[in-house]
């Protein structure tokens, strides 16, 4: 079975409400993918909500089709946590994740955040390689992820 070729595309990344229909669909697709990887919802701590997210973005192609998303919520000392970063499978490999990540880092800087942190899982090896390639450093699990065996945390100074 061959993998379809992914080509770079024109992407716009705009602020969108966390509970907009497209944001909900993207987050639901992410949840299905993660749950199938780990056999259910293993995310420790409080789930992000519209009220806890300080900003949420949706990436779209030139036709307006949603490709991916990501948001920020505040944690200790003004540091922001990347939450619900996701790119649809068919859009991976075309730079969409990098574009979303750059927009999240810009937004964190606009909020005065000295760093961004995030949590992913050990079975999400592509995500781990992506974050390491983008300058993130593995850190001890923080906050609700402390002691969580299925959590891997990263940080990046801005």
Average pLDDT, rounded, for the chain: 93
Question: What pLDDT is attached to residue 9?
Answer: 62
Domain segments of the chain: what residues? 12-157
SS3 assignment for the chain: CCCCCCCCCCCEEEECCCCCHHHHHHHHHHHHHHHHHHCCCCCCCCCCCCCCEEEEEEEECCCCCEEEEEEEEECHHHCEEEEEEEECHHHCCCCHHHHHHHHHHHHHHHCCCCEEEEEECCCCHHHHHHHHHCCCEEECCCHHHCCCCCCEEEEEEC
pLDDT in tens, 80-130: 999 999 999 999 999 999 999 999 999 999 999 999 999 999 999 999 999
CATH architecture of the domain with residue range 12-157: 3-Layer(aba) Sandwich (3.40)
pTM check: above 0.85: yes
């Amino acid at each position: 079975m061959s993998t379809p070729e992914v080509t770079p595309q024109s992407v716009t990344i705009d602020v969108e409400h966390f509970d907009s229909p497209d944001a909900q669909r993207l987050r639901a697709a992410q949840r299905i993918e993660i749950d199938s990887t780990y056999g259910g919802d293993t995310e420790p701590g409080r789930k992000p909500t519209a009220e806890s997210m300080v900003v949420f973005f949706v990436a779209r192609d030139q036709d307006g089709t949603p490709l991916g998303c990501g948001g920020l919520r505040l944690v200790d000392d003004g540091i922001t946590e990347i939450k619900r970063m996701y790119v649809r499978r068919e859009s991976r490999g075309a730079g969409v994740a990098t574009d979303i990540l750059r927009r999240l880092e810009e937004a964190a800087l606009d909020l005065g955040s000295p760093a961004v942190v995030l949590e992913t899982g050990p079975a999400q090896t592509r995500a781990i390689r992506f974050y390491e390639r983008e300058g993130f450093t593995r850190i001890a699990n923080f906050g609700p992820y402390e002691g969580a065996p299925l959590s891997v945390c990263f940080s990046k100074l801005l």
